[in-house]
Amino acid sequence: MLDNRFFPSHPPVPIEHLVELVSGQLVHESKAHQLISGVTTLDKATNEMLAVLNNANQYAQHMSTTNAAAVILEEKHVDKLPTHVAGIVVEQPYLALAKVLQFFYGTQADVTISRIHETAIIAPSAKLDDGCQIGPYAVIEDHAVIGQGTVIGSHSTVGTGVHLGRHCRIGSHVTIEYAQIGSHVSIHAGARIGQAGFGFHRDYVKGHVPVLQVGRVIIEDHVSVGANTTIDRGSLEDTCIGQGTMIDNLVQIAHNVKMGHNCVIVAQVGIAGSTQLGHAVTVAGQGGISGHVNLGNGSVIAGQSGVMRDVMPGEVVGGTPAVPIKQWHRQTIALQKIATKGID
């Protein structure tokens, strides 16, 4: 449940304000001036709360008994609204939920007043713009540049020469080195950005010889990097993460990977070196991508798939080795038939 100790709420606002916020249409206009104090689920809502009907197959059963003051929903579900509940009709309820949650509970650092904890260590040559928030025991090394309103969590390290843009959010115990990072980037706790890629000359007799990794990590604006994710710096080229990309927890991105705009990389994915992802690529959980392959714009990699070849734009693949998704389903069914043949 939502706890105001962690997510302080915006003061109550009338329903009509939220209708405007999400570009919706109000059902039961007599309730336009009723105040809403927060957002919760249909079954937990009180008569001062807003709820959302997003997955009707699972949650429509709660509509008849909800005590919510208002519900965000699609037009096709308006007939499920109780008479005492206002409706806010939108095309995409989940997008509307994102907007109202940000409105009520999204916090922004004060961009005019800097707050630097007394235990933080900041090199004299580092540059911090107005409104930076530097947590306990954080370290900002020589010639680092921290943009306006950026927050650095406790025990995090921003390495020599690193540039961070405006209004970034860096969690606790994060290390960032050899990196150029845009604005409005979120890097969650424990992430490792810019460490050396896994590059060496193999010699099983005389011993392996490391190859110095002299590239950088480039992260563009509005990227989110999950907790305990690692993004290696490039060897000779840069590792690049495109604008708007969302990376989940526990993801490994190797040296020289190039990733386009608005990709979605789900937990426990591993992407090997020099692989290129186009725009809006989705790699589902535990997917493994071998090195030096290309994933075309809009392609989708199913969960636990192993990709060992190029994937065409818009193609959906699954399995190991990954094949077109319909072929993977046929293979799975055929294998099940073979495995169960002769079993009573």
Domain boundary among 67, 88, 105: 105
Q: What is the pLDDT of residue 171?
A: 97
- The answer as to whether 305 is a domain residue is yes
User: Does the pLDDT at position 2 exceed 80?
Assistant: no
pLDDT tens column, 238-257: 999 999 999 999 999 999 99
Domain boundary among 77, 105, 133: 105
- Alpha helical stretches, state H, the chain: 15-21, 56-59, 93-105, 325-340
- The answer as to whether 167 is a domain residue is no
Q: For residue 28, what pLDDT band results from cuts at 50, 70 and 90?
A: confident
The pair of three-digit structure tokens given for residue 36, joined into one six-digit string: 């809403």
Are residues 182 and 101 part of one domain?
no
User: Does the pLDDT at position 110 exceed 60?
Assistant: no
Share of the chain above pLDDT 70, in %: 97
State mean pLDDT over 4-20: 90
- The answer as to whether 138 is a domain residue is no
- The answer as to whether 168 is a domain residue is no
Q: What are residue 270's DSSP bridge partners?
A: 252, 288
Cβ-based neighbour number of residue 215 at 10 Å: 20
- The answer as to whether 155 is a domain residue is no
CATH number of the domain bearing residue 324: 2.160.10.10
- The answer as to whether 111 is a domain residue is no
User: Does the pLDDT at position 57 exceed 90?
Assistant: no
The amino acid present at 306, given as its one-letter code, is G
Are residues 198 and 101 part of one domain?
no
Are residues 101 and 227 part of one domain?
no
User: Does the pLDDT at position 53 exceed 50?
Assistant: yes
Counting every residue, how long is the chain?
Answer: 344
State mean pLDDT over 43-72: 90
Give the chain's mean pLDDT: 93
Report which DSSP code applies to 85: S
Q: Structurally, how many domains does the chain consist of? A: 2
* Active centre residues (catalytic): 255
Domain boundary among 105, 129, 159: 105
Q: Are 238 and 217 within 8 A, CB to CB?
A: yes
137, exposed or middle or buried, with CB in 10 Å at 0-12, 13-18, 19+? middle
Least Cα distance to 216 among 234, 231, 199, 241 occurs for: 234
Are residues 324 and 190 part of one domain?
yes
Are residues 210 and 331 part of one domain?
yes
- The answer as to whether 135 is a domain residue is no
Rg (the chain; Cα; Å): 24
State mean pLDDT over 303-330: 95
The residue segments making up the domain with residue 340 are 178-344
- The answer as to whether 49 is a domain residue is yes
Q: What is the pLDDT of residue 60?
A: 82
State mean pLDDT over 51-80: 90
CATH number of the domain bearing residue 99: 3.40.1390.10
Q: What is the pLDDT of residue 109?
A: 45
Q: For residue 108, what pLDDT band results from cuts at 50, 70 and 90?
A: low
pLDDT tens column, 124-160: 999 999 999 999 999 999 999 999 999 999 999 999 9
